[in-house]
């Protein structure tokens, strides 16, 4: 009998559904559709919750059609797992079932003034004031400040909260509530891995923190990452339990079978997210990392924690080179373009489009390209972009090694960018350690499926170390000497310092767009303006 789990996952621009065989972890079939992102103002990033839900329904139905074409009965799907962007925030009306505002995406910057105001009220203006409770700094990254912004700026949200009609959650909460009935009895819940990214959750008590939560009536019910919930009431999955729920990076940790203390993985998507399993005790970072709940997979099982380094811009940089600068026509071209040069020729690219996340947490930083000469061409820029992803990962690894006291010996990787073999080789060279890439890239969805299949009452997936199916992988070994790696890394660190403290509190000129929203012609015009000013001076 085929026993499988279906997983719904959300990325920056695509929503996808995968079906896995619970006996072999084999991907049987999948379907994905794009989800539009909106940039209504400088630094703002939004998604339409209705479009997200419509995409879920479309993906599920198309995937089930593909199953039937493979002569697999849809009734063999035993459980559903959901994985999602963790900090992207949705508020909706529980009586009408309608969103009260667009979802505010994790890398949105509109809450910077909210963050500054919150920090100014803490003793010593300390951005880490709540870190002992939440594991997180006060940052635009997390859900609490996005909710605070909506309460302060969106009349519909404020009225609904005061009337007791508002429900708040990350994307998993919105999807599960809708799939389990919506306004007609939908389950309003989230798992602990997502809750730990709101900046409202106490990672020690594993409950909402009473000091931080003022609007408790709109908060979600907490659940384990692997736990039976009310069954889906929608379409082809009607009657199937939604028994797995994990934030995307926790799901990738499970999918990579990093279930033992000390194991780590790095996911290369829109951003980069390196998580290291620290076991059943939270490790507080002294070097700019986050302490987060990795997962809680059973009723009697303890929660497992992770140290995390979050990089805002990785794959988004390649997208910027394609969409804004026109250097490549498709993201896949970046590898061949960079390989044509084989070097950045001293060019360094710091993609601080949304400030810098770990280990700096510096919102005033902005993107720069430095080390340019008359010889520099687009191939060198492409190579520098790939190197930037690797250098940012190296910074996280260094911080993680200092916090843990035990150096990583190899890096397990996943995510869309890992199909780029040049990037993987560069990463091994810059880390001076092997990089291990699974041949099946959908490890995030696999992790959600594993959690769903392991839930009590479903019991089709055994997550004990003796039973976990090993992941088939490919290993990239370092090919340059450590001295060369250290030289390039030192130059990168120098470039990062050039990017710091760029943004000021002075208002931008009308119509000024941030670097990541500018076109090639706008960037060229800006450079010409700067050169003219220099000549006049």
Residue 471 has pLDDT above 90, yes or no: no
- Output phi, psi for 466, to 5 deg: -75, -15
Listed range (3-12, 209-218, 270-279, 292-301) with the worst mean pLDDT: 3-12
386 vs 517: CA distance, rounded Å: 20
Compute the average pLDDT of residues 372-382: 94
Expressed in percent and rounded to 5, the helix, strand and coil fractions of the chain are 35, 20, 40
Residue 285 has pLDDT above 50, yes or no: yes
451 vs 244: CA distance, rounded Å: 5
Give the model's pLDDT for residue 227. 79
Give the model's pLDDT for residue 470. 73
Q: Tell me the percentage of the chain whose pLDDT exceeds 70.
A: 90
Name the H helices within 405-504. 421-431, 443-454, 482-499
Tell me the pTM: 0.87
309 vs 404: CA distance, rounded Å: 13
Judged by DSSP in three states, 13 sits in: coil
Angle at 307 between CA 357 and CA 311, to 5 degrees: 25
482 vs 464: CA distance, rounded Å: 38
Give the model's pLDDT for residue 23. 87
Listed range (229-243, 390-404, 464-478) with the worst mean pLDDT: 464-478
* Structural contact between residues 273 and 311, judged by C-beta atoms closer than 8 angstroms: yes
- Output phi, psi for 133, to 5 deg: -90, -45
Residue 370 has pLDDT above 70, yes or no: yes
Listed range (310-319, 379-388, 427-436) with the worst mean pLDDT: 310-319
pLDDT in tens, 64-84: 999 999 999 999 999 999 999
Give the model's pLDDT for residue 43. 85
Compute the average pLDDT of residues 509-515: 46
Residue 140 has pLDDT above 60, yes or no: yes
Strands of the 435-438 sheet, one edge to the other: 290-295, 304-311, 272-279, 264-268, 411-414, 435-438, 473-476
Q: What count of Cα atoms within 13 Å lies in the side-chain half-sphere of residue 8?
A: 27
- Output phi, psi for 320, to 5 deg: -65, -40
Domains and CATH numbers, the chain: 265-499 (3.30.420.40)
More confident residue, 226 or 2: 226
Confidence band of 179 (pLDDT split at 50, 70, 90): very high
Average pLDDT, the chain: 87
Angle at 168 between CA 226 and CA 115, to 5 degrees: 110
92 vs 156: CA distance, rounded Å: 10
* Structural contact between residues 424 and 418, judged by C-beta atoms closer than 8 angstroms: yes
């Amino acid at each position: 009998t085929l026993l499988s789990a279906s997983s719904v996952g959300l990325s920056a621009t695509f929503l996808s559904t995968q079906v896995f065989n619970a006996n072999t972890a084999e991907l049987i079939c999948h379907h994905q559709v794009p989800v539009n992102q909106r940039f209504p103002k400088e630094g703002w990033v939004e998604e339409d919750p209705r479009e997200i839900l419509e995409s879920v329904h479309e993906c599920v139905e198309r995937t089930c059609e593909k199953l039937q074409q493979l002569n697999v009965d849809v009734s063999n799907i035993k459980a559903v797992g959901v994985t999602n962007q963790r900090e992207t925030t949705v508020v909706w009306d529980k009586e009408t079932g309608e969103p009260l505002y667009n979802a505010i995406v994790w890398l949105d910057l509109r809450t910077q003034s909210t963050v500054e105001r919150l920090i100014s009220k803490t003793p010593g203006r300390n951005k880490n004031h709540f870190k002992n409770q939440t594991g997180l700094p006060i940052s635009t990254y997390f859900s609490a400040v996005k909710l605070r912004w909506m309460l302060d700026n969106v009349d519909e949200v404020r009225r609904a909260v005061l009337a007791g009609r508002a429900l708040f959650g990350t994307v998993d909460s919105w999807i599960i509530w809708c799939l389990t009935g919506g306004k007609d009895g939908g389950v309003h819940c989230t798992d602990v891995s997502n809750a730990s990214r709101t900046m409202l959750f106490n990672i020690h008590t594993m409950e909402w923190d009473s000091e931080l939560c003022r609007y408790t009536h709109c908060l979600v019910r907490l659940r384990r990452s692997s736990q039976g919930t009310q069954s889906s009431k929608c379409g082809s999955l009607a009657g199937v339990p939604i028994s797995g729920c994990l934030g995307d990076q926790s799901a990738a940790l499970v999918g990579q079978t990093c279930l033992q203390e000390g194991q780590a993985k790095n996911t290369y998507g829109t951003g980069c997210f390196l998580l290291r399993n620290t076991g059943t005790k939270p490790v507080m970072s002294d070097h700019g990392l986050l302490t987060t709940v990795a997962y809680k997979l059973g009723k009697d099982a303890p929660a497992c924690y992770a140290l995390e380094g979050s990089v805002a811009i990785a794959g988004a940089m390649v997208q910027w080179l394609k969409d804004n600068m026109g250097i490549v026509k498709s993201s896949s071209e970046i590898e061949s373009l960079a390989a044509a040069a084989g070097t950045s020729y001293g060019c360094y690219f710091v993609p601080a489009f949304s400030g810098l996340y770990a280990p700096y947490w510096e919102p005033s930083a902005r993107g720069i390209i430095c080390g340019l000469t008359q010889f520099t061409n687009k191939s060198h820029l492409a190579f520098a972009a790939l190197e930037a992803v690797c250098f940012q990962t190296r910074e996280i690894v260094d911080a993680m090694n200092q916090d843990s006291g035990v150096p990583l010996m190899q890096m397990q990787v996943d995510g869309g960018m890992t199909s780029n073999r040049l990037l993987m080789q560069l990463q091994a060279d810059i880390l001076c350690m092997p990089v291990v890439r699974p041949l099946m890239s959908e490890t995030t969805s696999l992790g959600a499926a594993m959690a769903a299949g392991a839930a009590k009452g479903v019991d089709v997936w055994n997550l004990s170390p003796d039973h976990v199916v090993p992941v088939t992988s490919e290993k990239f070994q370092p090919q340059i000497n450590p001295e060369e790696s250290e030289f390039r890394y030192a130059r990168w660190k120098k470039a990062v310092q050039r990017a710091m403290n760029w943004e000021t509190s002075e208002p931008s000129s009308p119509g000024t767009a941030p670097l990541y929203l500018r076109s090639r012609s706008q960037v060229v015009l800006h450079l010409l303006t700067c050169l003219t000013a220099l000549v006049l001076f």
